Structure 1
């Protein structure tokens, strides 16, 4: 009995840890289903045909200088306001020394908006520049270039509002308080639990999230197939005022 007890305990611990990681992820539905901001991210992404820019439009020097020199792809998240849950996501690709807008989509961020000092449970998305290194989800790999972990444990618990059940069908980990090179639902938090974690790009449910950024399924599939680890993608995110400062 003792010989079998350790593996069983390890399996139980692993299952509990994975569930806690999903519960800690954003968009958990604890504040109910869609809000009055419903429906903005259902549309397919808009292809861009804009001129190239030397810098990322709407991003000031403070954050621009935090974009690594070798970054060739930037996912910019423009929040509509410091306390607003609505945002716009734009993918920029570097062409020579200039940035070209490639695609854009409506999106949602934290229910209570944005913060430069994110903490667990504050319902605000963190402002900053973060690398994008790992992806995963409930659904099969759609052709992702980033390392992709398919695992049923990503599934949202069925006691959450039904509108949230598919939130984590596809996710891309935002490297905020996490260990790069691990699956998005790895629970490790190097800066401590109080700083929050489990912050992802994931599928939208029609309203603000706990701290993540959510987009339509079409947008997530496009990003998964496009973000290339050889181009060192990053996300630059925040409300427009913070981004420009």
Structure 2
């Protein structure tokens, strides 16, 4: 990682500590325009040996539990990359190097599944539906939650109650990750193009890793296959389908 990226991230880490509570909404609103910061944060997340990874994960968690919607969305945009990093490390059996990423994923999961009193709850998410229509029939319609609902292109998914988890294991891993990807898909229309691209890239990597066709792809990372659950695959496909539509609209 370049020194410039390090400086940008270090400034971001220290800046939030000095923001007065009354100024947090304005601060959160300005974050979406800091393209260089987002790019630098991706580089930190992708470098599991970075000394900045732990404080970055901690601050992203603080954003998520702040109660400020735009800060929550800022953290959500990195969810696909965080999930990929965890899965890649799991496949390599080197789980110690992903401790802070696992803690962040668990933190977001445990925050989402309980109410303000700490009781388990059933959550409802409105997500795009894959059942209809074909991509050509959607046209140039804006893929907002309201528009999708009006045209019958969304569905309400109920999830829970879920058990709180203290660590990710082979038994509960995809219960947690599937829930997190469902949460991400519910906010898909708010995600920037770089996050949608990350989602598509990690899904592509999962599909090629350990298979012969990996040799003709650009990704030359881990060579072992990454098994996933059927429920996780459904959320992958849902996200990819609408990420392509949203990315196309953002380019217009």
TM-score, normalised with respect to structure 2: 0.23
The structure whose RCO (Cα within 8 Å, separation 6+) is larger is: 1
- Identify the structure with the greater helix proportion: 2
TM-score, normalised with respect to structure 1: 0.23
- Identify the structure with the greater strand proportion: 1
